[in-house]
Structure 1
């Protein structure tokens, strides 16, 4: 991957079913691996190729076939995720994100996203969402034969539908960059910040920190500073190749690296777990670090080489001189992924199982929108609150602390040799595999709102500028 380009945090996918009313068949295992077009790398963008496997279209009662304990690859719909992470009780209390707004920054476009969102709502019994599509620099005409654009359309579908699934009445402002170059992504994000488009911004993309032009990294950090001054909460996915990132030259190799923009200390980095929950009711059972070698995927995490340890990470065992990430996590597994309508896959109304830390960032944005409605103000910069809570006995009540697994990553090089990049192990408390863990949303919001920085955070923000 060349410098000056964003490697989009590609959502891992398995093709699930072509339906109009949303009933899915059994699922066959596939590679689920994003690959690179070696030797055909655009100097300003990285092309990706999502893999998928068709699953059939047999319906089985009111649930999908993959919502079974015996399914080869399991899946979750909105109701299961809402139950597992204790979101439903918040929605039942009348906190639905109404009056709040979520910004999703993505690249290129998904021409069918509005109708796909309507089908997603119809399939899962959700109310329609307020959706605004904004292209401040214009749109690149969608090319269904361009794998890079098609991949981004899947990302857009995942981001929009699952932010909405968590905060169904929040307005979603989808801000689209004209390409996935660093400069274009930054331009789209600047528009969102300058125009104060939302309470929270979700960024489901990233690249190796050292692959970013230092001048652009500085501009990005300045923009995040301006966003935080406006009390806009920032999330970014931590990556899908464990402790590594794709090499900057696009050669297909990987190197030990944390992901930018998730490493920025003003951003809340979202790592990945594999959620084990009842496939029908969603009742929470357990979680482990997301690491599925069969799909070439694992939850991102590690340490910055650009940003020193921020004040809120003082006193954390294992964090020495530089920023550690992720800060929190969310379900990212492919086996246990989330159902998403994605027509740009080539079949209108097709439903896929999506995984990746891409899924976590927009859902955490949805959680933040719920908190903003409950608090009646923006929650602002959340990392100090997460770490303050993490140091107290409240952590056990509001976070599912993942203590099993690691995010090591292995891949085959050009000669077919297996290269292993050691990862970080989950431990009690914060770790560089899952951060503080995943949320019990109802309990977390009750604690997070009084702990959050909200609109009284000038000194903490200034210390990170």
Structure 2
């Protein structure tokens, strides 16, 4: 495993982050977080993943062929299309492939056929063999293909690993598997990652309502994030797939709430868009906020009830005094998904699926940060101040981001008693908004800007 030596120049970066950390910790301390009491005395202490997928068949089946035609109602994107749409290809062509950098993906349970599936994925898309490590801090339960929870996490694992590898093909990837989706187990997996310095970037494609975590759980997450940030690790999390809402803590209904861990100010939140790109060339065409009424899903986004507005968001006029999410976005559309090889689903080994959801964009952003780390020849660490600094300068912003100005993340969701809960969402607009943050990356411009700011420790234009 690579030994990450912190240089004197990088130590300066840590001190910069520490200044921001002090502000964040002060905000956390003043937020008055207390344990939440929920209906029926039930408090959930578990995160969920909700990858959205549909079966594509085999490589030459009509289903798979049809989604690769521009005239199709439901598209699916391969590796080249995504690299071209978000201007990642020019960086790869210049040798910025994530070489020498490391991505950690934290998930729960396991995907028994993962190595075979990634090898199949690599062969289909012409990728180099993956450098994949699988770490299990605690003994996992036996694989049960009839367990819906285990199967869903298996799908998430396949999506996360394959698409982090697709964006940063030469970065090493370590999958850390928690023994369950319960918060204490996921936090233990996170702390194991940090204590053993397993990577430069940590990708987390899970979440739960802030209201469903006790004060102890929130403090444990935040303490781990503080430690990771001091070590120069970049933290990324999905903003969720239920618009401005999350499930109530008894799992029976929905209400307006922010999600953790994405709402923590030390985490970079990834929201969702619906990307239109040419299916042959991958040429970028347009994007809107991801919102799919048919699947009752939309880009997660809104405002924390726990964390006050961090200093890097001071410039955002439409934020009052709360942490706003997400910070950035990426394609998440269920009808414009990315191709994944997944053998643990109902269609068996070697099956192809189209995946969407904000958990699709999170590992791909992790790949982009790996390219930026290589470009800068150091860990960029806590990137939110860099992103918001770029957003503050109109010339930088216009060159580095697709600003998503159309759509909203309002959503109607089904409760267990069959009633429909309608949550008014937030609207997209110029600059940062609570649907897609600053927008989606133009990586060939964004990566050099982030590296420049990190190298100069620049916090003002």
TM-score scaled to structure 1, two decimals?
0.87
| CA distances 1:216-273 after superposition (whole Å, capped 9, x unpaired) | 110110110000000000000000001101111111x111011100000000000000
Report whether the alignment pairs 1:159 with 2:196. no
Q: How many residues align?
A: 417
Equivalent position SS for 2:249: coil
Q: Of 414, 431, 443, which aligns to 1:441?
A: 443
Alpha-carbon separation, structure 1, partners of 2:43 and 2:231: 30
Partner of 1:310: 310
CA shift, 1:185, in A, is 0.4
Partner of 1:325: 325
Alpha-carbon separation, structure 2, partners of 1:82 and 1:3: 42
Alpha-carbon separation, structure 1, partners of 2:445 and 2:82: 16
CA shift, 1:296, in A, is 1.3
Alpha-carbon separation, structure 2, partners of 1:411 and 1:97: 39
Partner of 1:343: 343
CA shift, 1:3, in A, is 2.9
Q: Of 398, 415, 424, which aligns to 1:413?
A: 415
Alpha-carbon separation, structure 1, partners of 2:168 and 2:260: 26
Alpha-carbon separation, structure 2, partners of 1:205 and 1:316: 26
Partner of 2:227: 226
CA shift, 1:339, in A, is 0.3
Report whether the alignment pairs 1:241 with 2:242. yes
Answer yes or no: is the 8 Å Cα contact 1:382–1:453 preserved in 2: no
Partner of 1:188: 189
Give runs of aligned pairs for residues 106-145 of structure 1, distance below 5 A.
106-145=107-146
Alpha-carbon separation, structure 2, partners of 1:203 and 1:5: 16
Give runs of aligned pairs for residues 253-272 of structure 1, distance below 5 A.
253-272=253-272
Answer yes or no: is the 8 Å Cα contact 1:399–1:439 preserved in 2: yes
Alpha-carbon separation, structure 1, partners of 2:455 and 2:222: 19
Equivalent position SS for 1:65: helix
Alpha-carbon separation, structure 1, partners of 2:160 and 2:79: 13
Equivalent position SS for 1:250: coil
| CA distances 1:78-122 after superposition (whole Å, capped 9, x unpaired) | 100000000011101011011110000000000110110000001
Report whether the alignment pairs 1:277 with 2:277. yes
Alpha-carbon separation, structure 1, partners of 2:162 and 2:43: 31
Equivalent position SS for 2:67: coil
Alpha-carbon separation, structure 2, partners of 1:443 and 1:280: 23
Equivalent position SS for 2:307: strand
Partner of 1:358: 359
TM-score scaled to structure 2, two decimals?
0.88
Alpha-carbon separation, structure 2, partners of 1:220 and 1:417: 34
Gaps of 5+ in 2: 1-37
CA shift, 1:25, in A, is 2.7
Q: Which has the higher helix share?
A: 2
Partner of 2:27: none
CA shift, 1:414, in A, is 4.3
Answer yes or no: is the 8 Å Cα contact 1:68–1:74 preserved in 2: yes
Answer yes or no: is the 8 Å Cα contact 1:258–1:304 preserved in 2: yes
Q: Which runs of 4+ in 1 moved over 4 A?
A: none
| CA distances 1:410-462 after superposition (whole Å, capped 9, x unpaired) | 023345443210000001000000000000001001111112389x69x9xxx
Q: Of 25, 34, 40, which aligns to 2:62?
A: 25
CA shift, 1:140, in A, is 1.5
Q: Of 451, 455, 459, which aligns to 2:453?
A: 451
CA shift, 1:65, in A, is 2.2
